[in-house]
Structure 1
Amino acid sequence: MNLMKWGAAALAVGLMNLAVPAQAAGGKTLEAVKARGVLNCTGHDGSYLGFAEVDDKGNWKGMDIDLCRAVATAVLGDPSKLKIVPISWAQRWPSVQSGDVDIIIKASGGTLSRDTELGLQFSMSYYLGTTKVMAHKELNIASLKDADGGSICLPAGTSIEQQAAAYAQKLGIKLEPVVIEKTEELEQAYFSKRCDMYAQWGPVLAIARAAKGKVEDHVILPDVLAVEPEVFIMRQGDDNWVDVANWTLTALLFAEQEGINSKNVDELKAKPTSPQIAKFLGAAPGMGKGLGLSDDWAYNLIKKMGNYSEIFDRNLGKDSPYKMDRELTNLWNNGGVLFPLVID
């Protein structure tokens, strides 16, 4: 009898729990950004070509900058409601922990120590980058195993320092590190031959070599020191803000997957091709309430910023000076590893 009563009571409590959302929409960071009316997002202390650049008029551009604009558009409906905070690699973590920035979008990888020791949380990956090494061609270095005793330029305050050290140890060679924080100074050190080699994120090496106009004088070695998923990074303890980041990235990828872009988004909103597309574009309800956003936030995002491929192409790809191929940073159905979450 008592067991039956206990079981009935437990069932009632369980049904009540099912009826209550696991988390109320609108976490602390989201509410703070809405109240401020501006998203504070990371820039760079100089230029990180293709990802965060400042032109001669002080305007920011780049892949990471446009992704900051994407989050601002999702939350506030306007990509201009954004403050770019120029910070160094080492300043990333204290800046987000102190609240000086709301989110880090700065070619930053998700690592165990950043999660468990620094108290950070990550989004899905928005770019899969390989760490590689460039060398002066005249040195006749075919691979890193030929470089024993050579000097190597490394960006300070990044995981590349550890990656280069671990890879050298694995090969049984010794390298002389030259560690410099600012990208411009780091590249100057390499191109002025202060260093024999330069370890960096693969896209940055390719862009730096092309920018110098002397591709034939430098060789990017076949060695892959590490593969690093680049992610949006936030403070721990605000799951709603992590959700906003992930669904913003999903919206960009989903739109590309479904052929929705800044040019046809109005037509598709007016005449959705499926209930899923209707919900996604805010023609039917349900896209925003659980996140604390408006139901048309994804429509605004694609209308004003474009889908993932549009952002990539104008900053890194065919419509940029760098003409980079997407490689692994393609969608799952086009030979890459990126994918959206399911919109149901």
Structure 2
Amino acid sequence: MTFSKWGTAAIALGLIPFALPAQAAGGKTLDAVKARGVLQCTGHDGSYLGFAEVDDKGKWKGMDIDLCRAMATAVFGDPEKLKIVPISWAQRWPSLQSGEVDIIIKASGGTLSRNTDLGLQFSSSYYLGTTKVMAHKELNLKSLKDANGGTICIPAGTSQEQQVAAYTQKLGIKLEPVLIEKTEELEQAYFSKRCDLYAQWGPTLAIARVAKGKVEDHVILPDVLAVEPEVMIMRQGDDNWVNIANWMLTTLIFAEQEGITSKNVDEIKAKPTSPQVAKFLGVAPGMGKGLGLSDDWAYNVIKKVGNYGEIFDRDMGKDSPYKMDRDLTNLWNNGGVLFPLVID
């Protein structure tokens, strides 16, 4: 199944929320975070390689973690003013609704029921991935239709459950689901051959094969069960907080588009290349007031966390063990669908 660049871009565009203008003083979530002195951002309850994992020094790393760090930097100017709260997939929404966390950044998709039934609100998409299925090569499957009657490992409490059910019904086949919440246990079940198949987000499957050192023993089937834009998720009723998340993401993408990196940001700030860049880096006023942030918040984010490309490269791309291609999650002018909102 193929997607045209602009067709997929339309999907991404369709999920961009346009919130009401923020009050200059900021919203209630921002005020609460500032008063607490630390951002509480959801973490994964185990390794989700490339997105959230713990290094050999006991520190969290990954794309989702770096987005949490970028949010903390936007608010405080310091990526360390952050508490990663390990939460299971099923407990994401209760933890957000109860105020245990301020924002969910956990490879989560924006769905109608999460919006209308659970009262959640979404940012723009920060990663566009597909749901796919991996199979043991020895089964000699050409597509999912050949797997009728088999067993399939699925992460419990995620949208993949519904996606597998809908897709298998469409194909007219039956699969026995094995639902496991923790990623490590799910992968153990598949790689130990408890399951014939493993349904997951495409990037997770690709990373799992590499991490296990068994690329040749497993095949990712050509079926695309769904395209899911991953979003940052917040409680409804605080448009200012949603605006901050969206402009934080735009900051990362805009900086990459303009060639502004953590290494050259000071040089460009000293001699901005345009009025837009001057405002972006806090040389000219206006970047922070309407959000309740300082005017140099975007500069701090790029200086201390990096632009989108830097984050991707170190967490999942060429500077990581996984060497993943950016594919659709690339800039609009480089074959992908990512684009910044307009800084004027």
TM bucket, shorter chain = over 0.9
Structure 2 segments unaligned to the other structure (5+ residues): 1-20
Distance, in Å, in 2 between the alignment partners of 1:302 and 1:272 is 15
For residue 103 of structure 1, report the CA deviation from its aligned partner: 0.3
SS in 1 for 2:219: strand
Mapping 1:77-96, distance limit 5 Å: 77-96=77-96
Q: If the length of structure 2 is used for normalisation, what is the TM-score?
A: 0.93
For residue 22 of structure 1, report the CA deviation from its aligned partner: 6.5
For residue 24 of structure 1, report the CA deviation from its aligned partner: 4.2
* Match of residue 15 from structure 1: none
Instruction: Verify the 8 A CA contact 2:134 2:199 in the aligned structure 1.
Output: yes
Runs of 4+ in 1 over 3 A off after TM superposition: 21-25
For residue 214 of structure 1, report the CA deviation from its aligned partner: 1.2
* Match of residue 309 from structure 1: 309
Q: Deviations over 1:64-104 (max 9, x none)?
A: 00000000001110000000000110010001100000000
Instruction: Verify the 8 A CA contact 2:24 2:289 in the aligned structure 1.
Output: no
Distance, in Å, in 1 between the alignment partners of 2:172 and 2:212 is 32
For residue 58 of structure 1, report the CA deviation from its aligned partner: 1.9
* Match of residue 336 from structure 2: 336
Tell me the amino acid that sits aligned with residue 72 of structure 1.
A
Tell me the amino acid that sits aligned with residue 44 of structure 1.
H
Mapping 1:110-129, distance limit 5 Å: 110-129=110-129
SS in 1 for 2:148: coil
* Match of residue 7 from structure 2: none
Tell me the amino acid that sits aligned with residue 299 of structure 1.
Y
State, as a whole percentage, how many aligned pairs show the same letter: 88
For residue 56 of structure 1, report the CA deviation from its aligned partner: 3.5
* Match of residue 269 from structure 2: 269
RMSD: 0.8
Distance, in Å, in 2 between the alignment partners of 1:93 and 1:51 is 19
* Match of residue 175 from structure 1: 175
* Match of residue 45 from structure 2: 45
Tell me the amino acid that sits aligned with residue 275 of structure 1.
P
For residue 23 of structure 1, report the CA deviation from its aligned partner: 3.5
Instruction: Verify the 8 A CA contact 2:22 2:291 in the aligned structure 1.
Output: no
1:205 maps onto 2:184 in alignment? no
* Match of residue 243 from structure 1: 243
* Match of residue 11 from structure 2: none
Q: If the length of structure 1 is used for normalisation, what is the TM-score?
A: 0.93
Instruction: Verify the 8 A CA contact 1:163 1:225 in the aligned structure 2.
Output: yes
Instruction: Verify the 8 A CA contact 2:23 2:291 in the aligned structure 1.
Output: no
1:156 maps onto 2:188 in alignment? no
Tell me the amino acid that sits aligned with residue 308 of structure 1.
Y
Q: Deviations over 1:117-175 (max 9, x none)?
A: 00000000000010000000000111001010010000000000000000000000000
Distance, in Å, in 2 between the alignment partners of 1:43 and 1:313 is 20
1:285 maps onto 2:285 in alignment? yes
* Match of residue 6 from structure 2: none
* Match of residue 195 from structure 1: 195
Structure having greater relative contact order (Cα 8 Å, sep ≥ 6): 2
